[in-house]
Structure formats: C-alpha cells, structure tokens
Amino acid sequence: MTHKRRHELTVDEFVEGIRGGNRNILSRAITMVESSRPDHELTAHAILDRCLATRRRSIRLGITGAPGAGKSTFIESLGLKIVQEGLRVAVLAIDPSSVRSGGSILGDKARMEKLSVEPAVFIRPTASSGYLGGTSPRTHETILLCEAAGYDVIIVETVGVGQSEIVVNSMVDFILLLMLPGSGDELQGIKRGIMEIADAVAITKADGDRSGIAQVSRADFEAGLRLIPEKHPGWERKVMLTSALEGAGITEVWHNIVEFSETMRENGTWDEQRKQQLRLLLYTIAEDRLKREFFNRPAVAAIRDSVEQKVLSGSISPFSGALALLEAFRAQ
Ligand SMILES: Nc1nc2c(ncn2[C@@H]2O[C@H](COP(=O)(O)OP(=O)(O)OP(=O)(O)O)[C@@H](O)[C@H]2O)c(=O)[nH]1
Ligand SMILES: [Mg+2]
C-alpha cells in the first residue's frame, strides 16, 4: 500500500515518522493497527514488519487493580519518576470499563495531566470494544510500535475485573497489582488468579487515616503470597506501601521493577517469557483468523441457523451439528 488516499500516509512516511519520534504519526499508526478495515490492516502489517528491526530494549509493565484502586494516579507518579531517570514512557490504557462507563477514558487523560505534558511521554487511551475478541493481539502490536518509536518503558493499565489481566499477562514482562488498604476480610475476596500473575503488589493510598490499615494489609498480603506458588523461581514478590499523592513508595516500586528486569535478563527468564508470549500470539491470531474464515464462509453461514435449530430441538447432537458445519466449510 504505497498509494495516497486523501491525507493518508505511505508506509515509508509512517515508518520514518515513528522512528523519528513523531507522536502524531505514531498515534495514526496505532489507529491503523486498531482498525478492522482490510486496507488499514495491510498498511498496519507493512508498518509493523518494518518496525520490528528498530525496536529497542524495553520494559513492558502491566498495572492492574480494581476500579478506583488508584491506577491512573499511580501511573502518573511512576511515569514522572521514570522520566526523571532519563527514560521515555508510553502509557496504554486498555481498560474495558472505560467503554462501559463511557467517560473515564477522557477522565484518565485528565488525571494524568502532569504526565501527559511531558515531551518524553506518550499516552494512548484505547477504547476496547470487543476487547477479548481482537484487541489483545492489537495491543501487543501497539506495544511494538511504541518500542519502534523509542519508548523505553511501556505501561499497560488494565482493570483487574476478570480476564483482562490474564490477557495483559500475555504481553508484558512485569505485572504490578495495585490494592487498596483493607481488612483481612476484604482480602479474601481477591481472586487468586490475579494474585498468581502478580510480580509485585503495591498497596495504594497508604496515606492519612489509611496508613495504619495499610501496614496491616501489607502483612496480610505477604502471608497470602506465601501460600501461592511462585510465579518465577528466584523472584520474591514484594508488597510495597505507596501513596501517589505524597509520592511515597514510588521509587521503591521502580527499583523493584529494575531489579526484576536485571535478574530475569541474567537468568534467561526474560527472553524465555517473551518467546512464550510470541508463540501464544502466533497461534491466537491464527485461530482468530481461522474462526473468522469459518463463520464467514457462505456454505457455513447458509446452514448455520438450521443446524443450530436441529441441535436445540434435540433432533441432532451438538457433535453431529458441528461436524455438519465443518463438512460445509471443507466442501467449499
Ligand atoms: N489519598 C489518596 N487518594 C488517591 C491516591 N491515588 C489516587 N487517589 C484517589 O483515588 C481516586 C481514584 O484514583 P484513580 O487513579 O482514578 O484510580 P483508577 O484505579 O485509575 O480508577 P479507574 O481507572 O476508574 O478504575 C481518585 O479520586 C484519586 O484522587 C493516593 O495515593 N492517596
Ligand atoms: Mg484509571
């Protein structure tokens, strides 16, 4: 796709712009990646293939926690800290609740006001309609684009409400779980799955009246983590007290992340994890494509309703029904 249409950029212009750190062009490339238009998809893949060569050694950071846990505020503080270290930061918010609540995407950007004006920072709120369906590979592609654009740390914010953090686990190097200070009773309500994928826990809003209870929460979490098998052998998951408002604990968290990246790079876990993620992505995309092709095939679409009816009425088994659909798929 090298011809121009309206103000569309050529692949060369995209790649040059991204490599040159042009945030506007990066943004437009991400829009291509997120688009479901076939011509955009072609452009996106041409850009991505060329960008793979120029990616830098990045840290991909997933930040998850319940709604209102303080994720955006925390990311702003952490992001500013990272910028002070002379590094460039990209923030991707793939919060599925922003679609539901309709407004919090803009709210997020406003909440990261100080971070968003930093020249070394790129913030991309991502509306995630159909999130579990197709956005996960796309978020990974967005991460690759950000790396080609020279961002050293890519932060992915996601609400820990179910599957989203599992998806995020398949595309980042380090997962930080943010938890509000609370009693042991509330701790019982945390899904074990979320605890299992965390590389560290930060208790948020550990300030003012909450300081005391935050200490208690820390002890509870440390005890809880001891009951869960370790995620990476040789890495002890820390529970840290933080306050984004007072700037407390932010440096400690950053040091923990850096220590993780050094330790895991040295022992090979880092590269191994990234390879596993690429493998998973390869097959996820292949399966998605195959599924789409299957259901879009006219011969399948033509008999789908009647096969479904027969299964629902009990005249054929789901097994025979599925085989009938497969046969129609193969025959065409
Ligand atoms: N006291 C105190 N309040 C905080 C702190 N961090 C965030 N808050 C407040 O907590 C509320 C929620 O913060 P957000 O950063 O928007 O939380 P979030 O997890 O991103 O929320 P969603 O994206 O809506 O799930 C806001 O009113 C913040 O001002 C903190 O360190 N201390
Ligand atoms: Mg938020």
pLDDT per position as a tens digit, 85-108: 999 999 998 655 444 444 444 555
What is the C-alpha separation between 226 and 36, in angstroms, rounded? 44
Span 18-41, average pLDDT: 92
Which pLDDT does position 265 carry in this prediction?
95
Q: Are 47 and 15 in contact (CB under 8 A)?
A: yes
Which pLDDT belongs to residue 182? 81
The answer to the question of residue 275 being in a domain is: no
The verdict on 146 and 263 lying in the same domain is: yes
Residue type, 202: A
> Rounded to 10 degrees, what is the CA torsion of 59, 194, 34, 289?
110
- Tell whether ligand 1 has an atom less than 6 A from the beta carbon of residue 68: yes
Domain edge (last residue) among 30, 54, 78: 54
Tell me what pLDDT residue 289 has.
Answer: 87
Which CATH number fits the domain that encloses residue 183?
Answer: 3.40.50.300
Q: For residue range 49-65, what is the model confidence (pLDDT) as tens digits?
A: 999 887 778 999 999 88
**pTM: predicted TM-score of the whole model, two decimal places:** 0.88
98 lines ligand 1 (CB under 6 A): no
Asked whether residue 177 is domain-assigned, the answer is: yes
Is any ligand 1 atom within 6 A of the Cβ of residue 238? no
- Check if 247 has its Cβ closer than 6 Å to any atom of ligand 1: no
Shared domain for 59 and 49, answered yes or no, is no
Q: What would the pLDDT profile of 108-157 be if each residue is shown by its tens digit?
A: 556 688 998 999 999 998 755 444 433 467 888 999 999 999 999 999 98
- Centre of ligand 1 from the C-alpha of residue 74, in Å: 8
Q: How far is CA 20 from the centre of its chain?
A: 25
- Band (pLDDT 50/70/90 cuts) for residue 281 is confident
Identify the pLDDT of residue 125.
81
Tokens of 73: 């505020």
State residue 288's pLDDT score: 85
Task: Based on the fold, state whether residues 188 and 71 are members of the same structural domain.
Answer: yes
**CB-based neighbours (< 5 A) of ligand 2, an ion:** 71-72, 108
Q: Residues 174-191, buried b or exposed e (16+ Cβ, 10 A)?
A: bbbbbbbbbeeeebeebe
What was the pLDDT predicted at 95? 53
If asked whether residues 46 and 60 sit together in one domain, one would say: no
Q: Which tens digit of pLDDT belongs to each residue from 162-219? A: 666 677 788 899 999 999 998 555 555 566 677 888 999 999 999 999 999 999 999 9
**Residue 93 CB less than 6 A away from ligand 1:** no
pLDDT at 128: 54
What pLDDT was estimated at residue 189?
57
Structural tokens at position 238: 């820390």
Q: Please enumerate in sequence order all residues whose Cβ is within 8 A of that of 313, keeping only pairs 6 or more positions apart, or say none.
A: none
- pLDDT of the residue at 234: 87
Q: For 6-27, what is each residue's pLDDT tens digit?
A: 578 999 999 999 999 999 999 9
What separation in Å is there between the alpha carbon of 323 and the centre of ligand 2? 45
The pLDDT mean for the chain works out to 86
Same domain, 238 and 287: no
How many domains, the chain?
3
CB 118 within 8 A of CB 87: no
Kindly state whether residues 245 and 309 are assigned to the same domain.
no
Residue ranges making up the domain that contains 21: 1-54
- pLDDT of 185 reads 54
Q: Which residue has the tokens 């943004």?
A: 27
